[in-house]
Amino acid sequence: MPTVTLHAASGSSAGTVDLAEEFFGIEPNVAVMHQVVTAQLAARRSGTQSTKTRREVAGGGAKPFRQKGTGNARQGSISAPHYRGGGVALGPKPRSYAQRTPKKMKTLALRSALSDRAADDKVVVVESYGFDTPSTKGAVKLLADLGVQGKALVVVRPDDEATQRSFRNLPEVHLVSPGELNPYDVLVSDFVVFARDTLPGTRPEEVEAAASDTAASDTAVSQTEEA
């Protein structure tokens, strides 16, 4: 079971804490992480690009000139794609780029990402953030005391407004609640910072669900590789 230093709000050591094996101690599955992150980024695309076909552009209802006698090639409409200002042939239309990703695959990808960060000693745990009132200066000092540099993913409870307001103005910090943890945010961050009560796998029902998901995910992945 992975073990990390437990920090006090002042940044000093307050002992150690065991991380849940199901979330922080598995062998990262790179292929699944790649597929889930690709689906995440695809879902962020707005898909609003649009071009007009020859039927949708204005004008072009009559022939530009008579069929015969002009010496030119026959033309039916100035809205044809080869005319300047005409319609676009086979152009893009609004569409959804969303990909369907199985829930167990998302779970495996998140646990793989967290395990990868834990293996690199990039998971930081504090007893509590210790903010009674919002303080951006205090948030900067806390991260410095914890040795957190670069991009940081800070996991905060939704009801901890003082901590959220303390961190939210820092450009290198991305705030998420425990339920919003996802592989992309974990992988693009240099450090992942948890309060002790936001650690995944701290509740018995969470551990039990993760264990069952592990067995099902491993079975599904092995079947995919065999196919």
How much is the pLDDT for 226? 52
112, 183 Cβ separation under 8 angstroms: yes
Torsion of CA 116, 13, 157, 148, to 10 degrees: -50
**pTM higher than 0.85, yes or no?**
no
How much is the pLDDT for 208? 45
Amino acid at 213: D
Cα–Cα–Cα angle for 219, 24, 180, nearest 5°?
90
Distance CA 96, CA 104 (A): 23
Q: Which of left, alpha, beta for 15 (phi over 0: left; psi -120 to 50: alpha)?
A: left
How much is the pLDDT for 219? 52
How much is the pLDDT for 211? 45
How much is the pLDDT for 13? 86
Q: Which residue is it, tokens 């930081």?
A: 124
Tokens of 153: 């993913």
Domains identified in the chain and CATH numbers = 3-41+99-226 (3.40.1370.10), 51-91 (no CATH)
Distance of CA 200 to the CA centre of its chain: 17
Give me the tens of pLDDT residue by residue for the chain, a chain 227 residues long.
789 999 998 888 888 999 999 999 999 999 999 999 999 999 999 999 999 999 999 999 999 999 999 999 999 999 999 999 999 999 999 999 999 999 999 999 999 999 999 999 999 999 999 899 999 999 999 999 999 999 999 999 999 999 999 999 999 999 999 999 999 999 999 999 999 999 998 654 454 444 445 444 455 445 544 54
